[in-house]
Amino acid sequence: MEFVKLFFERNKEIIVGLLLIPFLLVLFLGLIFGDGVREVPVGVVNNDKGLSIPLMGEVSVS
C-alpha cells in the first residue's frame, strides 16, 4: 500500500493528464470537424460509416 501511495503522489500530474487527454481530443475534434461535417454531402458521410467524424458532427449539432 505504501508503494501505491508514493506512486500516485509522484505521478499525480501524469495520471490526471492521461485521463484528460482523450476528453480534450474529443472536444477539439468535435469543434474542428463539427462545422465541416455539416457542409459535407450526405453521400460522402454515408460512405464513411467507419469514421467517427460524422458522428461527432451530429453530436455537436444537437
Q: Number of folded domains in the chain?
A: 1
* 52 found inside a domain: yes
* 46 found inside a domain: yes
* 28 found inside a domain: yes
Looking at residue 52, what is its pLDDT?
45
Q: How far is CA 61 from CA 2, 6, 19, 46, 51, in A?
A: 48, 44, 26, 17, 17
pLDDT higher for 53 or 14? 14
Residue 43 lies in domain: 23-62
* 41 found inside a domain: yes
The pLDDT tens digits of the residues spanning 3-42 come to 888 888 888 888 888 888 888 888 777 777 766 555 544 4
pTM: 0.34
Looking at residue 7, what is its pLDDT?
83
Which amino acid does the sequence have at 39?
Answer: E
